[in-house]
């Protein structure tokens, strides 16, 4: 998949929404708990209900790993189902991996060969050789953590060198030597929307994956104001606020309504910014 393919989807669907499949077992509606694979049944219903408003899905690996082997089975079925039925949709493994070269190569195999993901989130701490094995797959993306949306982001990401450069800025600058915007994106949290303006100066063309809208409190219009570029350049994630909007038999219907609401907001913002 290319950046242009993602942009086409944004224009067609009038949306830059990513739905995070943080499918926590305990929160899955009880009406699904008797099925053979409740996590997959839940994901399938959520995907079928929201796909027309959604340009990307982002399973959060932790929620599957926490269930052991059955979790990996649910994950595999989910991503294969999405790829088969909605091949245009961008599929992100939210895994935050990163290790020495020979190990990152194995993680890349896990997500890009064994599973049909289009992108994987990667932590930058170990530097270039921890990231580059993911870049040897044409049409696949690394989404590198830059500025995250959590409180702990303050612990290290703002460490500043004597020239005034912060760690997250150094990550943005240095990693551009590793890959261009057709293989690299960045995670930039929505709870710091005003920081998106600084980020955009450093990476004008790259897509930014923005978590933290919805349950984590970020504002969509602020994100668009500071982060949008000529080809949108934003993939905004919402997880719990959509997938767990309701826990009755109407969960999928309610998820659809929530996704539709966000899509309508996005449509207005895309028009305001003259993208559609």
* Tokens read off for 155: 């612990």
CA distance 160 to 53: 40
Q: How many CB atoms lie within 10 A of CB 159?
A: 11
Please report where in the chains the tokens 């949008």 appear, as a residue. 228
CA distance 109 to 101: 12
Residue 229: CB minimum distance to a second copy, A: 25
CA distance 165 to 50: 40
3 vs 157 by CB, closer to a second copy: 157
Residue 220: CB minimum distance to a second copy, A: 19
218 vs 232 by CB, closer to a second copy: 218
Which residue in 77, 96, 225, 250 is the catalytic one?
96
Angle at 232 between CA 10 and CA 18, to 5 degrees: 55
Residue 268: CB minimum distance to a second copy, A: 28
Q: Which long-range contacts (CB under 8 A, 24 or more apart) does 242-246 make?
A: 242/19, 242/46, 242/50, 242/214, 243/19, 243/20, 243/21, 243/22, 243/23, 243/42, 243/46, 244/27, 246/29
Q: Which secondary-structure segment (H or E) carries 147?
A: strand 141-147
Contact (CB, 8 A) for 262 and 17? yes
Residue 159: CB minimum distance to a second copy, A: 6
48 vs 99 by CB, closer to a second copy: 99
187 vs 259 by CB, closer to a second copy: 187
Residue 82: CB minimum distance to a second copy, A: 17
Which residues make up the interface to a second copy (CB under 8 A)? 22, 24, 60, 62-63, 65-69, 72-73, 76, 94, 96-104, 106-107, 109-110, 113-115, 123-131, 145, 148-157, 159-162, 167, 170-171, 174, 216
- The shares of helix, strand and coil residues in the chain, as percent rounded to the nearest 5, are 50, 15, 35
Whether 173 is catalytic:
no
120 vs 228 by CB, closer to a second copy: 120
Helix-then-strand count for the chain, H and E? 12, 8
- Give me the active site residues, please: 96
């Amino acid at each position: 998949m290319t950046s242009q393919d993602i942009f086409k989807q944004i224009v067609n669907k009038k949306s830059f929404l990513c739905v995070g499949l943080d499918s926590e077992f305990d929160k899955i509606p009880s009406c699904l708990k008797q099925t053979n694979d409740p996590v997959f049944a839940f994901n399938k219903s959520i995907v079928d209900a929201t796909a027309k408003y959604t340009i990307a899905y982002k399973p959060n690996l932790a929620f599957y790993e926490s269930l052991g082997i059955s979790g990996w089975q649910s994950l595999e079925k989910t991503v294969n189902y999405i790829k088969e039925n909605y091949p245009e949709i961008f599929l992100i493994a939210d895994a935050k991996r990163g290790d020495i070269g020979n190990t990152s190569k194995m993680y890349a195999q896990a997500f890009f060969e064994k599973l049909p993901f289009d992108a994987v989130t990667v932590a930058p701490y170990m530097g270039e050789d921890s990231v580059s094995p993911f870049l040897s797959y044409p049409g696949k993306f690394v989404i590198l953590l830059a500025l995250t949306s959590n409180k702990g982001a303050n612990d290290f990401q703002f460490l500043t060198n004597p020239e005034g450069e912060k760690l997250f800025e150094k990550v943005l600058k240095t990693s551009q030597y590793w890959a261009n915007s057709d293989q690299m994106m960045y995670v930039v949290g929505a709870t710091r929307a005003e920081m998106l303006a600084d980020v955009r100066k450093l990476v004008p063309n790259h897509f930014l994956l923005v978590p933290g809208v919805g349950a984590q409190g970020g504002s969509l219009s602020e994100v668009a104001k500071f982060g949008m570029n000529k080809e949108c350049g934003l993939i905004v994630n919402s997880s719990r606020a959509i997938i767990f909007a309701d826990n009755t038999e109407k969960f999928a219907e309610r998820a659809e309504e929530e996704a539709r609401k966000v899509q309508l907001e996005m449509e207005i913002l895309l028009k305001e910014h003259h993208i559609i």
